[in-house]
Amino acid sequence: MDIIKRNHVTIRGEGAQTVVFAHGLGCDQTVWSRVAPAFEGDFRTVLFDYVGAGQSDRSAYSPGRYGSLDGYAKDVVDIADSLDLRDAVFVGHSVSGMIGAIASLERPDAFSKLVMIGPSPHYLNEPDYPGGFDRADVEELLDMMEMNYLEWAKYMAPVSMQNPDRPSLTEEMEERFANNDPAVMRQFAEVTFLSDCRDLLKEIKVPTLILQTRDDAVVPPEVGQFIHTQIPGSEYKLMDAKGHNPHISAPQETIRDLMQFIGNSNSH
């Protein structure tokens, strides 16, 4: 199978080190359009769409394979193998933080650093853990996606952006959500919101940066802190940006934080 075509892999830049940018639920690689170009001068950049999103080969989708985050991590591993990646930096937004963690454990030599932007290992509230959502909330969202996907897109875009003074960003997000396959996104949402990767965090050995924004309606700040306590030697940064998508709403701050973390590794 042609992995490059399947995941609509886009490669730019000439650098010795590769930075892989991975999008979150309901999105595609275009979410990185304000951030990735800043890295093309010094790094090789790799962007892609998960199967079912963006311009991926949607016929490659199977509910069996993508019934857990492992299937999405397998996409990442396939891409790493087909490009023969070594010591790449994986930048994952939202659920891609955990997908990247799974992939890095599977291919330790492919990924030397992880960046997680607004990550969550578990979205549900538990007695000893503030995930942010009650199970009933999640079921309501999944029902909405099933009954009227475009209505869900309209509802979720402003919640996820949290930048009401810039309506164009919300419109852009809604359009992106609406362009994806409703059935695939509904299953991806179920897999995302019901996943529990908390036990996995202690196993992560590579240097990891957790970027957490203020006023994130999807992931409470306590979750970022929790991840930080669980991943040995990780760095945690509370950004000035608001909302769940700083790579869209605050690209300059995002670029700066990423460069500080990975820029120094380019010299060796």
Please report where in the chains the tokens 């475009």 appear, as a residue.
150
Ramachandran sector of residue 162 (left: φ over 0; alpha: ψ -120 to 50; beta: rest): left
Query: Which of 73-85 are b and which e, b meaning 16 or more Cβ less than 10 Å from the residue's Cβ?
Result: bbbbbbbbeebeb
Q: Report whether 170 contacts 200 (CB < 8 A).
A: no
> 49, 75, 78, 216: which is the annotated catalytic residue?
216
Q: Is 33 assigned a catalytic role?
A: no
CA distances from 226 to 163, 197, 256 (A): 26, 12, 24
Cα(1)–Cα(7) distance, rounded to whole angstroms?
Answer: 11
> 244, 247, 249, 257: which is the annotated catalytic residue?
244
CA distances from 69 to 98, 110, 117, 226 (A): 8, 19, 17, 20
Q: Is 247 assigned a catalytic role?
A: no
Q: Is 96 assigned a catalytic role?
A: no
Of all helices (H) and strands (E), which one includes residue 44? strand 44-47
Q: Which two tokens stand for residue 34?
A: 């304000």
Backbone angles phi, psi at 255, to 5 degrees: -60, -45
> 23, 56, 94, 160: which is the annotated catalytic residue?
94
Cα(112)–Cα(116) distance, rounded to whole angstroms?
Answer: 14
Residues carrying an active site annotation: 94, 216, 244
